[in-house]
């Protein structure tokens, strides 16, 4: 059934429940001198390109490929529209490798037709920190689908990760592959219900009018928690301590240091928003919340072309109840004109989703590890990891 994935060091469906197989790496590292030195072969008319997404021209090419060919919902009504600034942020964390930003061009026209990326990350699994790649933005142009180009892209990024002496990876997908370490549910909180209904993102509930629906989702004009403010650069040490301690409670999570927190959590306009609670008495940082900005193109609609969505990222509560903290996050997202606030049921998110009027979406997100076997699938609440 999975001609490609059956050949890869990932948990296989046939091995589910086999308690004789230990948790941990499936294959041992090979000496670097034994890693294939040349790129994998592409069909004749295509060539590899290592992408530098800093110059506007190259970033434009990647942006356009993704804007017209990346992930859609199951009814092809919406397509992710990552911004160029978002892509630069997502692909250039501390210690990134340019060689892991891989494009494929048509030799004759130089048109970019496929893409895949990796970034380095330290991921903790139980009590072990593993140096991994996070793989994302796998995309093949719509006109070149089902020609088995994806397996070549995946083998090539794997080869380049191996060349940096890393042997594991983490990735997420909306489809089931061999085999998820966890399966999470997307939840959506309407901020602009009229637009969401107009564009077919959501529907008017049974026995609901538009005006009752608008009233149902109304939020206060301003945030409620005293000391709630935007994160600033001088907060990096305090936020790092807060988040490291919080993430240590999950089975799988990133191992963030101060450099990572500065990169991933310091606010960047229209990319990443982070807020914290500084106690008005002690000036301690006690709570934190964050969301990233990922608009979707609305496909074939008369009056609207973009859905502005916020995605819950990392949230930590020690004093302010998580429910109240996330309600304040919804209030800022509404102030900033987002149409919807999305979240997965990871970490402790289940404790606020229903109460804050999130509803389950029609999409799931499956989490995977490459070359790392898990004995059992995790519950979403055991996952402390959010990928972009
Ligand atoms: S998930 C988003 C993936 N992208 C999209 O959905 C965009 C729209 N779709 C496309 O562009 C986030 C194409 O449909 C793609 C497949 C390119 C998806 N992950 O070329 P063929 C990520 O970026 C397998 C993994 O004919 P295609 C995460 C499929 O099961 N495998 O298909 C990426 C089949 O193999 P099988 C996927 O439709 C993680 C084979 O590809 C997949 O023209 C990557 C068919 O290939 C997916 N999302 O192109 C893995 N979708 O065995 C990283 C399909 O079943 C692993 N397939 O026959 C780790 C690597 C690093 C290790 C380092 C140590
Ligand atoms: C790798 N980083 O399906 C990511 N989104 O629910 C790649 N549904 O937006 C993997 N179909 O339910 C991505 N509205 C996998 C996800 C791909 C995108 C996707 C889903 C997630 C989504 C929306 C729109 C559905 C349109 C028709 C949805 C219902 C909202 C409603 C609001 C009011 C309360 C109940 C729910």
Rg (CA), the chain: 21
Rounded (5°) CA angle 282-288-293: 150
Question: Does residue 373's CB lie within 6 angstroms of at least one atom of ligand 2?
Answer: no
End-to-end CA distance of the chain: 29
Q: Which residues does a 6 A CB cutoff place in the pocket of ligand 1?
A: 2-5, 69-71, 133, 135-140, 145-151, 154, 157-158, 161, 166-169, 171-173, 175, 177, 370-371
pLDDT in tens, 265-313: 999 999 999 999 999 999 999 999 999 999 999 999 999 999 999 999 9
pLDDT in tens, 15-53: 999 999 999 999 999 999 999 999 999 999 999 999 999
Which ligand number lies closest to the CA of residue 113?
1
Could you identify the residue written with the tokens 């060539």? Answer: 47
Task: Evaluate whether 193 touches 202 at the Cβ level (below 8 Å).
Answer: yes
The pLDDT of residue 46 is 98
For the residues 341-367, what does the mean pLDDT come to?
98
The DSSP line for 50-66 is E---SSHHHHHHHHHHH
Domains within the chain, CATH numbers bracketed: 5-172 (3.40.630.30), 183-382 (3.40.630.170)
The pLDDT of residue 245 is 98
Binned at pLDDT 50, 70 and 90, residue 370 comes out as: very high
pLDDT in tens, 70-105: 999 999 999 999 999 999 999 999 999 999 999 999
pLDDT in tens, 113-136: 999 999 999 999 999 999 999 999
What gap in Å lies between CA 290 and CA 77, rounded to an integer? 27
The pLDDT of residue 77 is 98
pLDDT in tens, 173-203: 999 999 999 999 999 999 999 999 999 999 9
Catalytic residues: 388
**Mean pLDDT score of the chain, rounded to an integer?**
98
Residue 197 DSSP SS3: helix
CA of 150 to the centre of ligand 1 (A): 5
For the residues 365-372, what does the mean pLDDT come to?
98
Task: Evaluate whether 367 touches 179 at the Cβ level (below 8 Å).
Answer: no
Q: Which residue's CA lies nearest to atom 15 of ligand 2? A: 174
Classify the C-alpha dihedral 52-53-58-62 as positive or negative.
positive
Question: Does residue 361's CB lie within 6 angstroms of at least one atom of ligand 2?
Answer: yes
pLDDT in tens, 48-69: 999 999 999 999 999 999 999 9
- Is this complex's ipTM strictly greater than 0.95? yes
């Amino acid at each position: 059934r999975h001609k490609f994935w059956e050949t890869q060091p990932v948990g296989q469906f046939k091995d589910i429940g086999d308690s004789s197989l230990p948790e941990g790496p499936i294959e041992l590292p090979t000496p670097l001198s034994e890693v294939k030195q040349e790129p994998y072969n592409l069909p004749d008319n295509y060539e590899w390109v290592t992408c530098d997404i800093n110059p506007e021209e190259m970033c434009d090419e990647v942006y356009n490929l993704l804007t017209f060919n990346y992930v859609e919902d199951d009814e092809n009504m919406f397509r992710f529209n990552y911004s160029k600034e978002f892509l630069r942020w997502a692909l250039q964390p501390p210690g990134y490798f340019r060689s892991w930003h891989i494009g494929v061009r048509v030799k004759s026209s130089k048109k970019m037709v496929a893409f895949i990326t990796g970034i380095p990350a330290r991921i903790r699994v139980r009590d072990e920190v593993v140096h991994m790649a996070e793989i994302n933005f796998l995309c093949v142009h719509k006109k070149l689908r089902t020609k088995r180009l994806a397996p070549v892209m995946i083998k090539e990024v794997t080869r380049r990760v191996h060349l940096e002496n890393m042997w594991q990876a983490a990735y997420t997908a909306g489809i089931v592959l061999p085999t998820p370490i966890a399966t999470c549910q997307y939840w959506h909180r309407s901020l602009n219900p009229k637009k969401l209904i107009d564009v077919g993102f959501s529907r008017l509930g049974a026995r609901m009018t538009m005006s009752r629906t608008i009233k149902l989702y109304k939020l206060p004009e301003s945030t409620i928690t005293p000391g709630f403010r935007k994160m600033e650069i001088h907060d990096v040490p305090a936020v790092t301590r807060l988040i490291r301690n919080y993430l240590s409670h999950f089975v799988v999570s990133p191992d963030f240091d101060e450099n990572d927190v500065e990169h991933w959590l310091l606010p960047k306009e229209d990319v990443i928003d982070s807020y914290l609670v500084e106690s008005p008495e002690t000036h301690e940082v006690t709570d934190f919340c964050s969301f990233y900005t990922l608009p979707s193109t609305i496909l074939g609609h008369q009056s609207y072309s973009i859905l502005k969505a916020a995605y819950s990222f990392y949230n930590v509560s020690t004093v302010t109840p998580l429910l109240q903290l996330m309600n304040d996050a919804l209030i800022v997202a509404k102030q900033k004109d987002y149409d919807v606030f999305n979240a997965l049921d990871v970490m402790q998110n289940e404790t606020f989703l229903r109460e804050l009027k999130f509803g389950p979406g029609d999409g799931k997100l499956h989490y995977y590890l490459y070359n790392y076997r898990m004995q059992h699938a995790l519950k979403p609440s055991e996952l402390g990891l959010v990928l972009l």
